[in-house]
Each structure stands twice: as structure tokens, then as C-alpha cells.
Structure 1
Amino acid sequence: MDFQRWKQLMQRLQLPPNKNTFDALLKSYSEPHRHYHNPIHIDATLKQLDCVQYLAEQPDEIELALWFHDAIYNPVSSSNELDSADWAAGFLKQHAVIQDRIDRVHNLIMATLHCASLKQADETLMVDIDLTILGSPESAYEQFECNVREEYKWVPEPLYKAKRKEILQGFVDRERIYHTDYFHNHLEVRARQNLNKAIRNLS
């Protein structure tokens, strides 16, 4: 997580540098229980955004949403996305940003629940960026699965396997894992291979 990049985003949004918010985000993403949802994940999503900015209607809103989308991450909570979205919305409200922008950023983060219907093109792009790990090279995907298991190490093995298998099967059962043609063309095949192998390993 790079403060210079954050500061440049703040400039484009016509906001002050907000170093205190950057520091708070970095502290949150650096919590010791995070093995995947950490600064490395944020940097990876921002790098993906750089590749597809031309597809975005409001690329700066997507970038801000990516900075905040896992800012609150408690493995025993079911409201992480909402809590993260509310943090982003509160941050924007403090700076008197127009409500339409606040709502769009909030919706972008909520889209990463990966179960809601997506209404805007930028929401589909946001979700695809968040899911790029599924289509990563085999070794990177295997490390991802290990990292997720570490985040849920308090869950008994039989229960974890059943729940994780259910989640992964949900992605496999979709007609398309990736909504946008760019990510579908680049990652869909590899994502299905990774997911199917992981499901077999959980059986």
C-alpha cells in the first residue's frame, strides 16, 4: 500500500491528502489475523485496476472502493463488507462529497459480497477485480487457499471443508465466473481449473 498512490487519488478526487486515513487503513489491513485480506491483496487489486481502467465509467471511485473494500475484516463477523462500506461512506461525508458519489462507492464495496445483483457496469468490474485470485497461476491459488484457511483456523476441519466447498462450488456453478469479457477471456478457464481442483482436495 503506497501513500503516494493514495495521495494522487485524493488529488484527483479534490480531497486533502488524508494521511491519517491512509495510516488507519494500513493499520487495519496489517492486523495479525489477516493472511490474505492484507496490504498485498489491496496492491494486487490496484494493479489489476491499472490494466482495465479504460473499461471503467468512474475509475477513481473503483480505486477508492478497492482501498476500503476489506478495511474491516473480522472472520467471525457477517457484516465486514457493510462495515467497510460504511467507513468509506463516512470518510466521504466528512469531506462533503456529493451523495451520488458516496452511494456509488458504498455500492461498489457491497458488490464484493458476491451474492448481490449487480446494477452498474463499474460494479461488475469491481467484482471481477476482487476475484482475479481465482484465475491466478496454480501455485498462487494454492497459497491463497492456505491463507484463507489460516484466517479461519478456529473453524473445525470438517466444518471448514464443507463450508469452503459450498462457497467454491457456488462459483463453479455460475454460467460465468467473470462478468466482463476482459477477465472472462483471460482468467475464466484457469479459475475453473483451480476451483475444481480445490473442491476435489476438500472432498
Structure 2
Amino acid sequence: MTATGADSASADLRDRWTRALVAARPTGPDGPDPLPYADNLVARWAEPQRRYHTSAHLIAVLDHIDTLAAYAAEPDLVRLAAWFHDAVYLPDRSENEERSARLAERALPEAGLSEPATAEVARLVRLTVTHAPAGSDTNGAVLCDADLAVLASAAGPYAAYAAAVREEYGFVPDDAFRTGRAAVLRQLLGLPRLFHTPHGAREWEAAARRNLTAELELLSAGP
């Protein structure tokens, strides 16, 4: 991406953050300036250790939430949760979701969000550990489906996604990575359903399972 393209994407992200935050907080446009919080989050999503969990992933998740927004009880809280769901991301750490949720719990009250709304955003961030929302959890269903929608990509984009995940774990030897990644794929394939919204079930479920199965077969074949 060119510098101009990156600047345009960052400006679009800042605008999307501002719209979601202003819509979600009780004071609306009257409150703390949203842009310092946007700047902090945009910088986090651009950190050098990221290969898949980048601002491009954030944009994709936000786009998918827009597609699924009608299913959510509180779509703007889901959008805020998307911003925070991998805001803390170190590939060699296992507590990224918890640390991201705690960041939301610190930042959002300062940004003018109510306590119940902040708690809901943090709950949604923690839900991305399992991607298993309860049947009545419409906010959780939308966030989890949006986060996993990449699994239903066409063959080329899916291969690029898998390669980016491998790059993030470049410090892991090949054999160990294949073993760990295969376990993740088997866990996903073992779920009764990957997607929980009607749109996700209809449009993404079958394609995602095909991609996961194909990747697992490649991993099982070895180098």
C-alpha cells in the first residue's frame, strides 16, 4: 500500500471509530475527543510484529459487522469490540484477548462510554477466545462471525491468510507449527457450527469448512 493509501485507510478508520463511539456513548458528540483513542488504536493495529492481525484485518472485521449489523442488539458496541479484540497482540503470548479486554475497560470510560456498555464491549472481546456465543447472544454472534469470516475466503485469499498466520509465528519451528495449527483446525472443524448468524450460516459455513479441511490435509502431508 502506498503512503497515500495508508493515510486514506487510517483516516477512514478514525472516522469509523468516531461514528461508533459517538453513537454508543450517552452524551453523543458531547464528550472527550474520540481522535486520541483512535490514534492509539490505529497505531496498535500497525505494530511490526503483526502479519495477519493488522489494520487490514480490523477493516475486514468492521466491514463484515456492517453486513451483519441487523442481527446485533447493539451493533455499535460490536464495532467497538472489533477495535479492541486484538488491540493487544503478541504472537508468543496466550493472554492477548484478556489484555485487550482490560485495555477496553480502561480506555472506554475515559472516552465517555457508560459502565454497562464498557462491560459489554469487554465481554465481547473475551468471547473471541472461544468464538462460541450463547444462542441468545446476538452481539456475540455478529462479532464472532465477522472475526471468522476470513475462513470462508476464496482459495487465493485463504492461502494468503494462512501464510500470514505462519509469518506471525515465524519463531516457531515448522514441525511444532504444523502440529499446533492442525490442532486449531481440528478444534474449529469439531464445532457444531462455525457461524451463528443466519447470513454466516448460509454464506460462509460450507466454504469455511472446505478451506479448513484442505489446509489440514496440506499440514498432514508434511513439508
TM range (shorter): over 0.9
Whose RCO is larger (CA < 8 A, sep 6+)?
Answer: 2
**Aligned to 1:113, what secondary structure does the other structure show?**
coil
Instruction: Return the match for 2:75 from 59, 66, 82.
Output: 59
1:42 equivalent in structure 2: 58
Is the Cα contact below 8 Å between 2:53 and 2:86 reproduced in 1? yes
1:33 equivalent in structure 2: 49
RMSD: 1.5
1:100 equivalent in structure 2: 116
1:140 aligns with 2:157: yes
1:198 equivalent in structure 2: 215
Relative to structure 1, is the Cα distance of residues 39 and 95 closer, same or farther in structure 2, using a 3 angstrom cutoff? closer
1:153 aligns with 2:170: yes
Instruction: Return the match for 1:173 from 186, 190, 202.
Output: 190
Q: TM-score, normalising length from structure 2?
A: 0.86
**Corresponding letter in the other structure for 2:148:** L
Relative to structure 1, is the Cα distance of residues 96 and 76 closer, same or farther in structure 2, using a 3 angstrom cutoff? same
Q: Tell me, in whole angstroms, the C-alpha distance in 1 between the residues paired with 2:38 and 2:113.
A: 18
Is the Cα contact below 8 Å between 1:136 and 1:190 reproduced in 2? yes
Residues 138-197 of structure 1, C-alpha deviation per residue, up to 9 Å, x if partnerless?
111110000000000000110100000000111111121112221010011110110001
Q: Tell me, in whole angstroms, the C-alpha distance in 1 between the residues paired with 2:49 and 2:170.
A: 10
2:23 equivalent in structure 1: 12
Residue segments in structure 1 that go unaligned for 5+ positions in a row = none
1:111 aligns with 2:138: no
Residue segments in structure 2 that go unaligned for 5+ positions in a row = 1-9
The alpha-carbon deviation at position 116 of structure 1 amounts to 5.6
Residues 38-95 of structure 1, C-alpha deviation per residue, up to 9 Å, x if partnerless?
0000000111111111111000100000011110000111110011111111112224
Q: Tell me, in whole angstroms, the C-alpha distance in 2 between the residues paired with 1:137 and 1:79.
A: 30
1:79 equivalent in structure 2: 95
Q: Tell me, in whole angstroms, the C-alpha distance in 2 between the residues paired with 1:69 and 1:145.
A: 20
Q: Tell me, in whole angstroms, the C-alpha distance in 2 between the residues paired with 1:128 and 1:135.
A: 10
Is the Cα contact below 8 Å between 1:11 and 1:17 reproduced in 2? no
